[in-house]
Amino acid sequence: MTLKWIVLSYKVPAEPSTVRVRVWRNLKSLGVVYIQQSVCVVPDLPETHKKINQIKKIIDSSRGQTHLLEVRQFSEHTEDQLIQMFNEQRDKEYDEFLEGCTLFLKELESETQKGNFTFHEVEENEVDLQKLKRWFRKIEKRDFFRSANAPLARNQLDHCENKLAQFTDQVYQSEGKIEGEILHGDLN
């Protein structure tokens, strides 16, 4: 697989530290791989190219220094190493995400065992599921080389969604209503 790459080398002034943190957060959210301190690599895609240039402007406007290299081709061995590094980073992120899914499922199980079938619990768990979905989308967006953990994470997210739907059904049943159904006493 021959790809184009972007290599960003940068120096950020020690003060204010907010610039350094901002740059680090932006690069982390983009999904770069560091090959040395303050030297990172990312595939050259339209979205990554745009974001790297935005980060470069942040650094340059803060009296920092940047060198931006557009690499047409690394050696096959180097490219394989880089892809492995990207996938290792994504694997770690997916592992953390899977832990989050496990906690979500344990919460649903706990509430089910307690018989705590309330609309309040449904709302809380819907918020938690939305957080999991956003988290998954962020990881997936920077999963340039389709980590081996991606399908497992997708399946676990789907499982969480199904379990919440089952829990929600139990809440409606315990409240004596099925969504959309009008019972005889409701019309009076």
- Mark whether 52 and 13 lie in a shared domain: yes
CATH number of the domain at 13, please.
Answer: 3.30.70.240
CA atoms within 13 A on the CB side of 38: 13
- Mark whether 155 and 97 lie in a shared domain: yes
- What are the two backbone dihedrals, phi and then psi, of residue 125, each rounded to the nearest 5 degrees? -70, -30
- Mark whether 47 and 91 lie in a shared domain: no
- Mark whether 120 and 153 lie in a shared domain: yes
The β-bridge partners of 9 are: 39, 67
Task: Please tell me what DSSP assigns to residue 184.
Answer: G
The CA-CA-CA angle for residues 14, 54, 1, to 5°, reads 110
Question: Model pTM?
Answer: 0.85
Question: For residue 67, what is the enclosing H or E element?
Answer: strand 65-71
Q: What is the DSSP string of 155-166?
A: HHHHHHHHHHHH
For residue 176, name the pLDDT band (cuts at 50, 70, 90): low
Is the pLDDT at 181 greater than 70, yes or no?
A: no
Structural domain contains residue 186? no
Give the Cα separation of 64 and 177 in Å (integer). Answer: 62
**pLDDT (tens digit per residue) in 113-126:** 998 889 999 999 99
- Mark whether 100 and 145 lie in a shared domain: yes
Cis ω on the peptide bond leading into residue 16 (within 30° of 0)? yes
Average pLDDT, the chain: 92
CA nearest 97: which of 126, 122, 129, 121?
Answer: 129
